């Protein structure tokens, strides 16, 4: 199967508001996710790309199904709060707007990934899926790495959540790189 079965078309990645400056700790942007012949989102909407990046990184190693969700939706709309508990990963709350965003199910089958939408299901090699996910992840990282340092939250709870978010992000990305290394040897 070709890469055209799953594509993340990145239009723009940016901070939501220049007035917030370094207080904005979340990448936003305009993307379109295409699964098979289906566009999963409206091209003219702005999405929470930091949250989408973490959710999609999680789907590289976990199923995302109605019984096991890696997030409320894979690509949430704007606005979120990072929630966490001791010994747990970050949960990204979308301000009560759980149905605002784009979602599909992800199931792993050996070296393949099955993407299930309300209208279709496609199967593609894990490596093809991974490459599209990393395209978005790398675009988000590029924004952070080429902007002024973000100002950390004053609230200790929010600060811990922010660090847990990035810790999991980097852990998952490193896990992908390790898997790549093992697969090429």
Percent of the chain clearing pLDDT 90 (strictly above): 59
Reported pTM? 0.91
Q: Which residues contact 157 (CB under 8 A, 6 or more apart)?
A: 84
CA-closest candidate to residue 173, choices 151, 140, 124: 140
Q: How far apart are CA 55 and CA 72, in angstroms?
A: 9
Label residue 10 by pLDDT band (50, 70, 90): very high
- Total domains present in the chain: 1
Residue 101 is predicted with a pLDDT of 83
Domain hosting 93: range is 3-184
Residue 79 is predicted with a pLDDT of 62
| DSSP 3-state of 79 | coil
Label residue 179 by pLDDT band (50, 70, 90): confident
HSE-CB of 136 using CA atoms within 13 angstroms: 30
Predicted confidence (pLDDT) per residue in 63-122, tens digit: 999 999 998 889 988 666 788 887 788 888 776 555 678 899 999 999 999 999 999 999
Residue 163 is predicted with a pLDDT of 93
Q: Of the ranges 2-6, 25-29, 165-169, which one carries the lowest mean pLDDT score?
A: 2-6
């Amino acid at each position: 199967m070709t890469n055209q079965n799953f594509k993340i078309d990145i239009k723009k990645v940016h901070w939501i508001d220049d007035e917030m400056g370094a207080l904005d700790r979340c990448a936003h942007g305009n993307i379109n996710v295409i699964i098979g012949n289906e566009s999963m989102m409206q091209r003219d909407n702005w999405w929470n790309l930091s949250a989408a990046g973490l959710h999609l990184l999680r789907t590289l190693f976990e199923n995302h199904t109605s019984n096991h969700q890696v997030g409320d939706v894979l690509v949430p709309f704007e606005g979120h709060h990072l929630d966490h508990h001791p010994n747990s990963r970050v949960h990204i709350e979308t301000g009560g707007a759980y149905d605002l965003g784009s979602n599909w199910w992800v199931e792993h089958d050996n070296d393949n990934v099955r993407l299930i939408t309300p209208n279709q299901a496609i199967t593609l090699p894990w490596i093809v899926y991974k490459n599209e996910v990393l395209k978005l992840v790398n675009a988000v990282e590029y924004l952070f790495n080429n902007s002024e340092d973000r100002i950390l939250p004053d609230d200790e709870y929010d600060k811990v959540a922010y660090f847990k978010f990035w810790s999991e992000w980097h852990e998952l990305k490193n896990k992908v790189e390790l898997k790549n290394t093992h697969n090429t040897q």
